[in-house]
Structure 1
Amino acid sequence: MTRSSANPMTEVMPRPKVRNNVRSWTRSSVRPYVMIAPAILVFSLFFIYPIGYMIYLSVLDWNFVSPVKDFIGLANFKGLFQEQKFLEVMKNTFMYTTLTVSLTIVISLLISLWLNKQGKVYAFVQGALFSPHIISLVSISMLWMWLMDSNYGLLNWFLNLFGISNVPWLTSPSTSLLSLVIVAVWKGIGFNALIFIAGLQSIPKDIYEAAELDGTSKVRTFFKITLPMLSPTLFFLTIIGIINSFQVFETIAIMTQGGPLNSTNTFVFYIYEYSFRFFKIGFASAAGVVLLVIISLMTIVYFNILSRRVHYQ
């Protein structure tokens, strides 16, 4: 007998489909980038490109009309910090931001503690407080201009009832910035209070019950339980408030135009003024770069220092 040349136990196994595996791996690795490509394109077009172009303009001398753009290096930045007006703008912006953010956070937190209850009355008050947030700043500015009129404003009429003389809300350098802070706080309280209420309702009730059984006072309960549990909400509202305050524009453009005597001029209005009034695009772009650096540094420092104190459930 002849030995069979083919052994059934040693039949050749089919080759693995290497090409198919490579193709499927390529698809699975490329597909996520294809799906996020539209978002990256929009982000690059409306965020990365404007920032890069602003940095490019900051080293040029250009009047926004002439096609000639002269490269002058860091002369715009040097001129910024040598100008007294710009130093006043920085001071005004930091004062406005500090007062607006701190007052809005404190007042809205106190209001949210009172409104964190069930009932139609509390729901109505929550809606009434939130309504200024959805009204345009142009309408709010026009309303507060009438309220703060030095001669015929409703606020001065109310103060006159108690024998207090008229307050030059928007016409005096000593009160104009504070007047804008009042407007910003009035508009921001409703939004912050609503976010605080959501944070309060997310705190487990068992913790309060345990504290009550231990005989802990309400003040100690607030500082040892409520405030630490609200730290993520505080962290979020503070960083958002800082960024928004540094970018304030509408109320200043409508109510004070940066005056009187440059007392209410802030970063964004200063950039607008040098861009579209004086046509110093390079100078305004340099101010924009400084604003970008300040906000970025404050955000990084804030995240690195205070994020460690945030208590996440």
Structure 2
Amino acid sequence: MALPNLMLIAVFTYRPLVANIQYSILDWTLGAETARVVGLANYIEFFTSDDASRVLGTTLAFTVFTVGLSMALGLLVALALNTKVRGTTFARSAVFAPFVLSGVGVGLVWMFIFDPGYGALAWILRAGGLASPQWFNDPQLALSMVVIVYVWKNLGYCAVVYLAGLQSLPGDVMEAAALDGAGGIRRFWSISLPLLSPTTFFLLITTILSSLQAFDLIRIMTPLGNGTSTLIYEAYLQAFGAYNRAGYSAAISVILFVILLVVTVVQIRFVEKKVHYS
């Protein structure tokens, strides 16, 4: 019964992965009919170039900030949505809505907001007598801009998952702690947060993998990769930008795959030990 699905996975996931590894040892210009085998030259070139520290640093910064902010803010929003007040159903839908929107559409809307000339944010700052930052020209501001938009789009996912975790907490334990005199903050830090560790572990894995593969917002908001060239976007620029270096791009993709694999194994091997499943 599982054979059809396994065949689809083999054809559309593992076969491209193996082919990409083969392409990574080639000196191949995209569209060329011939390619030259160069072994590990593409990998050596990447790690010995100035691009390595820049791209890896940008990838690390983008992942740390997007994952940390999405999970922290998502937990706070989930705590707010877990209250029994009027309008929580609408609020939950509104919070989750950006997550299901197209990344292209979200990027285009936020480009209008951040535009220093005619954007909504620039208009608000000018009304207060302030000049709008050059979000698209400054590499650090460009990265901050993309992080803000990415967190806004994915905040609802973390909030909904945390909300499900909060609603599954045993009520008798919380009532017993309240009867013992534990306040709301104490119950959260000593009971709720430890019991939410399986949810936190799940979100940590999924959000890290998602952030490391983020592409659409970066492509739309910073098409030249000015300060926002993560590993996956650098692979795109090398293959489909001005360079057309398919082999070099494939090597960068393999590096990203290895990083994803190592991060996942480390989390399952070490981080899961701190998870409380009961």
**Band of TM-score, shorter chain:** over 0.9
Structure 2 length as normaliser, TM-score?
Answer: 0.96
Question: Is contact 2:25-2:41 (8 Å) kept?
Answer: yes
Shift of 1:159: 2.7
1:67-115 CA-partner distances (Å, limit 9, x unpaired): 2221111101000112212321111111000000000111110111011
Shift of 1:280: 1.0
Shift of 1:246: 0.7
Give the structure 2 partner of residue 271 of structure 1: 235
Q: Identity rate of aligned residues, in percent? A: 36
Structure 1 length as normaliser, TM-score?
Answer: 0.86
Residue 275 of structure 2 aligns to which amino acid in structure 1?
Answer: V
Separation in structure 2 between the aligned mates of residue 65 and residue 264 of structure 1, nearest angstrom: 27
Say yes or no: does 1:251 pair with 2:217: yes
Give the structure 1 partner of residue 23 of structure 2: 57
Question: Is contact 2:231-2:256 (8 Å) kept?
Answer: yes
Pick from 286, 289, 293: which aligns with 2:254?
A: 289
Give the structure 1 partner of residue 148 of structure 2: 182
Say yes or no: does 1:205 pair with 2:165: no
Give the structure 2 partner of residue 166 of structure 1: 132
Shift of 1:264: 0.9
Question: Is contact 2:225-2:233 (8 Å) kept?
Answer: no
Give the structure 2 partner of residue 45 of structure 1: 11
Residue 270 of structure 2 aligns to a residue whose secondary structure is helix
Pick from 217, 223, 230: which aligns with 2:183?
A: 217
Say yes or no: does 1:105 pair with 2:74: no
Give the structure 2 partner of residue 28 of structure 1: none
Separation in structure 2 between the aligned mates of residue 213 and residue 157 of structure 1, nearest angstrom: 53
Question: Is contact 2:213-2:232 (8 Å) kept?
Answer: yes
Residue 245 of structure 2 aligns to which amino acid in structure 1?
Answer: K
Separation in structure 2 between the aligned mates of residue 156 and residue 105 of structure 1, nearest angstrom: 29
Separation in structure 1 between the aligned mates of residue 66 and residue 54 of structure 2, nearest angstrom: 18
Shift of 1:44: 0.5
Q: Which runs of 5+ in 2 are unaligned?
A: none
Shift of 1:172: 1.3
4+ runs of 1 displaced by more than 4 Å? none
Give the structure 1 partner of residue 94 of structure 2: 128
Give the structure 2 partner of residue 17 of structure 1: none
Pick from 174, 196, 201: which aligns with 2:162?
A: 196
Separation in structure 2 between the aligned mates of residue 258 and residue 214 of structure 1, nearest angstrom: 59
Shift of 1:176: 0.7
Q: What count of residue pairs does the alignment treat as equivalent?
A: 277
Residue 174 of structure 1 aligns to a residue whose secondary structure is helix
Segment of structure 1 superposing worse, 286-295 or 214-223: 214-223
Separation in structure 1 between the aligned mates of residue 12 and residue 53 of structure 2, nearest angstrom: 30
Give the structure 1 partner of residue 115 of structure 2: 149
Shift of 1:119: 4.1
Segment of structure 1 superposing worse, 169-178 or 71-80: 169-178
1:38-79 CA-partner distances (Å, limit 9, x unpaired): 111111101111111111111111113222221111101000
1:160-194 CA-partner distances (Å, limit 9, x unpaired): 34333212222212211000000001001111111
Say yes or no: does 1:305 pair with 2:262: no
Residue 52 of structure 1 aligns to which amino acid in structure 2?
Answer: V
Separation in structure 2 between the aligned mates of residue 174 and residue 80 of structure 1, nearest angstrom: 23
Say yes or no: does 1:233 pair with 2:233: no
